[in-house]
A and B are shown apart, each in its own frame.
Chain A
Amino acid sequence: MTICQFFLQGRCRFGDRCWNEHPRAGGAGGGRQQQQQPSGSNRRGWNNTSQRYSNVIQPSSFSKSAPWRGSRDQEKPSFGSFDSGASTSRNRGFGLSQNPFASPSSDEQKDEKKLLEGIVKDMEVWESSGQWMFSAYSPVKKKPNISGFTDISPEELRLEYHNFLTSNNLQSYLNSIQQLINQWRNRVNELKSLNTSTKIALLSDVKDGVNQTAPAFGFGSRQAVTFGSPGFPMNNNSSDNAQNFSFKPSSGFATALAGSPSVFGSAPAFGAAPSASSAITTSAPTFGRGKPEITSAASFSFKSPAASGFGSSGFSGLPASMAAGPVGAPVAPAFGSGSSVAGFGSPGSHSLTAFSKSSGDTFGNSSISTSLPVSNGSTTTDNVLFTPKDQLTAEELEQFQSKKFTLGKIPLKPPPVELLNI
């Protein structure tokens, strides 16, 4: 496609509808990266080339990015972590290449649209066709699974039925089934309605998978993409751990499961746990890399049920649970049991919506997103919102330290927290 000259000058009046190509690669990466900063300032002075299309690019990239930024913290942790992983990896790529025209953006957009339409269609078919609900799903074959769907085979379900029957605990089986169904319904509706935050999360889910060479089997390996190969072994471990927690729930699930230790004993938590375990899998590696901002959101939604009732009360515990202490395995059990309690103990729909809704309606846009960067002044949040000083080049550091950015030398990375005056 021809590149739109007006767009380059920043004055294309068709915007997204324009038939010509609007190259926005650099803008997209930078836009996401710099969301937490006030909208106007950085973009204008960010880059010579980006300045040309700053006016036009803002609406599109920001309409996607803003809720994404907000939702990043509040979303289902799995999305959040993926987003952060995706954005950082992409940002680093952009930062390094300094080439805003690098990726074909309009084709990407078209593919995305098709993908999303495909997902909506698939969801409609899934609902109306009466096919088996508890299945992993991916919008395009060969792509990784979309999070939020648990894979339970009919045999596993049936075995659980039999186990519960023999232990005379059928009611809890029925309850867990109902919860799983509700969760599935919520997820399907979410994907059908596709507000912008789910869209972004989905796209990052799918795209992460595209980059990787190894096939993505569920959440754990998806992380491998965003973090590159070093992440992979970590992921396997963490996913094992996570799954172990879901699978050996005897402590956490004592309430509901009357001591049936089998797979399905965790399966209801499966319903909850995929969000949990995916959060766990994602959180463990991200913790390792010091990017707990998203996963702290995960810890909020999970620890809070463990601590108190589900929902808003959990948020008071925000900074506390963030204590970036022993991350990884020791934290994960808390997640595992936390999620299980959430899945079972609290009123089903509420907890499930909180798990499954990615748009963070339960959390609202207000306090969490804004308070997080401020209150979490600890170093562990740095890598997501801010860059630690040692990761900046001398030039970038100079730019941050000076009163104003110099055109052409504006850093693509976020500033270190130390230099911020808030």
Chain B
Amino acid sequence: MSLFGTTSGFGTGGSSMFGSTTTDNHNPMKDIEVTSSPDDSIGCLSFSPPTLPGNFLIAGSWANDVRCWEVQDSGQTIPKAQQMHTGPVLDVCWSDDGSKVFTASCDKTAKMWDLNSNQAIQIAQHDAPVKTIHWIKAPNYSCVMTGSWDKTLKFWDTRSSNPMMVLQLPERCYCADVIYPMAVVATAERGLIVYQLENQPSEFRRIESPLKHQHRCVAIFKDKQNKPTGFALGSIEGRVAIHYINPPNPAKDNFTFKCHRSNGTNTSAPQDIYAVNGIAFHPVHGTLATVGSDGRFSFWDKDARTKLKTSEQLDQPISACCFNHNGNIFAYASSYDWSKGHEFYNPQKKNYIFLRNAAEELKPRNKK
């Protein structure tokens, strides 16, 4: 996948070979552009699980559509299919067997898209836009978990129109992540709840937020034994908190770090602080990637507490990111995330999804 110039994308790919002469900064990292990317901001990305041979990428956008591409090892992306909602799509996820894609939308519903038949049916209903959707596969049950701005967390058996369970949230659900048997939900007003999913989902603990501002994204990480052990929480204030659920030494083990800010340590000029739009953990190395409104992505090693790499600045914010199942591909979407309000919204601006080879850059720093 180390292809460089074969951006099978929009025509602009070719000129960037000479890099410096063009002022077009939409792909400073020279990553692979995904063909026929959505027409409006991309809210969510998700790669297929290992059960599916090959790599398939799903992206939900504010143009009310969900698109699916096949990503080949050569780097070529082939658009495969598309489904529509009646409102912007806020979150997507795959089922564990790779046959279905679940999509959550502002039209207060969530749909299940069967890729083989290319049919999508509604499986969930809320009173407000559905912000998060995750597939839970437990030994004794499987369900879809949807978190919504109506302050509820609902669990759906896809065959029934009534939820299996409804859990109340203290506030609107802003982001969530699930790695069985743990689920984390971050809500408005700095709410943070951890659920345990064994047997049936139940609230495990409410955590006082380690961050001072609005929660924006959350991702669970696993320990060496591949068990979920904590999560990373990103806020609008350019900060990520690493929080362990049961650390031996909470004061020392939990920490926060600043990211996605402009001019590092020059204290003279005020820093520009950007929101962290997405966090993703590398499935093999356990290192994490963050993407922000500043149009950069960064790779971090949370155990060595160091930064591994920061990208060049793209001309648009990076609104979503995702690793594929084996960690070879890092996908990130460059599109406007509304971080500066409606004035900076340009419907004509193209939205991109880039694919990067992530096998090498995310290797953890060796602790000396």
Residues of A near any B CB (own CB < 8 A): 122, 124-125, 128-132, 134-143, 145, 151, 153-159, 161-162, 173-174, 177, 214-218, 220-221, 243, 262-263
A125 to B208 CA separation, bound complex (whole angstroms): 23
Known: A153-B214, A155-B90. Is A136-B189 also a contact (CB below 8 A)? yes
Asked whether, in the complex, the Cβ of B172 is within 8 Å of the Cβ of A263, the reply is yes
Asked whether, in the complex, the Cβ of B209 is within 8 Å of the Cβ of A155, the reply is no
Asked whether, in the complex, the Cβ of B189 is within 8 Å of the Cβ of A215, the reply is no
Asked whether, in the complex, the Cβ of B174 is within 8 Å of the Cβ of A138, the reply is no
Asked whether, in the complex, the Cβ of B106 is within 8 Å of the Cβ of A136, the reply is no
Asked whether, in the complex, the Cβ of B342 is within 8 Å of the Cβ of A142, the reply is no
Asked whether, in the complex, the Cβ of B206 is within 8 Å of the Cβ of A159, the reply is no
Asked whether, in the complex, the Cβ of B213 is within 8 Å of the Cβ of A162, the reply is no
Interface residues of B in 163-215 (CB under 8 A from A): 170-172, 174, 187-192, 206-214
Least distance between B265 CB and chain A CB atoms (Å):
14
In the complex, chain B residues whose CB is within 8 Å of the CB of A135? 213-214, 235-237
Asked whether, in the complex, the Cβ of A129 is within 8 Å of the Cβ of B272, the reply is yes
Central interface residue in B206, B261, B341, by most chain A CB within 10 Å: B341
Asked whether, in the complex, the Cβ of A138 is within 8 Å of the Cβ of B236, the reply is no
Asked whether, in the complex, the Cβ of B271 is within 8 Å of the Cβ of A142, the reply is no
Asked whether, in the complex, the Cβ of A162 is within 8 Å of the Cβ of B88, the reply is yes
In the complex, chain B residues whose CB is within 8 Å of the CB of A214? 206
Asked whether, in the complex, the Cβ of B270 is within 8 Å of the Cβ of A129, the reply is yes
A151 to B213 CA separation, bound complex (whole angstroms): 9
Least distance between B126 CB and chain A CB atoms (Å):
11
Least distance between A385 CB and chain B CB atoms (Å):
32
Specify which of A122, A129, A136, A221 is in contact with B188 (CB 8 Å cutoff): A136
Specify which of A139, A141, A174, A262 is in contact with B129 (CB 8 Å cutoff): A262
In the complex, chain B residues whose CB is within 8 Å of the CB of A140? 212
Interface residues of B in 210-243 (CB under 8 A from A): 210-214, 216, 235-238, 241
Closest 4 pairs between A and B when the two form their complex, measured CB to CB = A135-B214, A128-B270, A218-B189, A129-B273
Residues of B in contact, count (CB < 8 Å): 51
18 A-B Cβ contacts within 8 A?
A122-B212, A131-B237, A136-B188, A136-B214, A141-B211, A141-B212, A141-B241, A145-B189, A151-B214, A153-B174, A153-B214, A155-B129, A155-B131, A158-B338, A159-B129, A161-B345, A177-B342, A216-B208
In the complex, chain A residues whose CB is within 8 Å of the CB of B207? 215
Chain A minimum-CB-distance residue to B319 = A154
Least distance between B254 CB and chain A CB atoms (Å):
10
- Is B352 part of the contact surface with A, judged by Cβ < 8 Å? no
In the complex, chain A residues whose CB is within 8 Å of the CB of B206? 214-215
Asked whether, in the complex, the Cβ of B272 is within 8 Å of the Cβ of A130, the reply is yes
Known: A151-B171, A263-B172. Is A132-B209 also a contact (CB below 8 A)? no
Chain B minimum-CB-distance residue to A155 = B90
Asked whether, in the complex, the Cβ of A155 is within 8 Å of the Cβ of B213, the reply is no
In the complex, chain A residues whose CB is within 8 Å of the CB of B128? 262-263
Asked whether, in the complex, the Cβ of A153 is within 8 Å of the Cβ of B271, the reply is no
A157 to B172 CA separation, bound complex (whole angstroms): 14
In the complex, chain B residues whose CB is within 8 Å of the CB of A151? 171-172, 188-190, 214
Specify which of B189, B273, B339 is in contact with A125 (CB 8 Å cutoff): B273
Asked whether, in the complex, the Cβ of A159 is within 8 Å of the Cβ of B270, the reply is no
Least distance between A124 CB and chain B CB atoms (Å):
8
- Is B56 part of the contact surface with A, judged by Cβ < 8 Å? no
In the complex, chain A residues whose CB is within 8 Å of the CB of B216? 153
Asked whether, in the complex, the Cβ of A217 is within 8 Å of the Cβ of B187, the reply is yes
- Is B274 part of the contact surface with A, judged by Cβ < 8 Å? yes
Least distance between B128 CB and chain A CB atoms (Å):
6
Asked whether, in the complex, the Cβ of B212 is within 8 Å of the Cβ of A138, the reply is yes
Asked whether, in the complex, the Cβ of A138 is within 8 Å of the Cβ of B209, the reply is yes
Asked whether, in the complex, the Cβ of A131 is within 8 Å of the Cβ of B208, the reply is no
- Is B43 part of the contact surface with A, judged by Cβ < 8 Å? yes
Asked whether, in the complex, the Cβ of B213 is within 8 Å of the Cβ of A217, the reply is no
Least distance between B339 CB and chain A CB atoms (Å):
6
- Is B156 part of the contact surface with A, judged by Cβ < 8 Å? no
A214 to B191 CA separation, bound complex (whole angstroms): 11
Specify which of B208, B213, B256, B341 is in contact with A137 (CB 8 Å cutoff): B213
In the complex, chain A residues whose CB is within 8 Å of the CB of B271? 125, 128-129
- Is B31 part of the contact surface with A, judged by Cβ < 8 Å? no
In the complex, chain A residues whose CB is within 8 Å of the CB of B151? 243
Least distance between A212 CB and chain B CB atoms (Å):
10
Specify which of B191, B238, B337 is in contact with A154 (CB 8 Å cutoff): B337
Asked whether, in the complex, the Cβ of B274 is within 8 Å of the Cβ of A131, the reply is yes
- Is B149 part of the contact surface with A, judged by Cβ < 8 Å? yes
A159 to B40 CA separation, bound complex (whole angstroms): 13
In the complex, chain B residues whose CB is within 8 Å of the CB of A216? 208
In the complex, chain A residues whose CB is within 8 Å of the CB of B110? none
In the complex, chain A residues whose CB is within 8 Å of the CB of B273? 125, 129-131
A42 to B106 CA separation, bound complex (whole angstroms): 60
In the complex, chain A residues whose CB is within 8 Å of the CB of B208? 141-143, 215-216
B334-347 vs A, Cβ < 8 Å mask (1 yes, 0 no): 00011111100100
In the complex, chain B residues whose CB is within 8 Å of the CB of A159? 87-88, 106, 129
Central interface residue in A135, A173, A215, by most chain B CB within 10 Å: A135
In the complex, chain B residues whose CB is within 8 Å of the CB of A220? 170
Asked whether, in the complex, the Cβ of A154 is within 8 Å of the Cβ of B171, the reply is no
- Is B323 part of the contact surface with A, judged by Cβ < 8 Å? no
Interface residues of B in 349-367 (CB under 8 A from A): none
Least distance between B150 CB and chain A CB atoms (Å):
8
Specify which of B149, B189, B272, B341 is in contact with A157 (CB 8 Å cutoff): B341
- Is B62 part of the contact surface with A, judged by Cβ < 8 Å? yes
Least distance between A331 CB and chain B CB atoms (Å):
23
Asked whether, in the complex, the Cβ of B171 is within 8 Å of the Cβ of A155, the reply is no
Least distance between A220 CB and chain B CB atoms (Å):
8
Asked whether, in the complex, the Cβ of A215 is within 8 Å of the Cβ of B209, the reply is yes
Specify which of B62, B170, B171 is in contact with A158 (CB 8 Å cutoff): B62
Asked whether, in the complex, the Cβ of B341 is within 8 Å of the Cβ of A217, the reply is no
In the complex, chain B residues whose CB is within 8 Å of the CB of A174? 342
- Is B275 part of the contact surface with A, judged by Cβ < 8 Å? yes
Central interface residue in A151, A159, A263, by most chain B CB within 10 Å: A151
A192 to B190 CA separation, bound complex (whole angstroms): 22
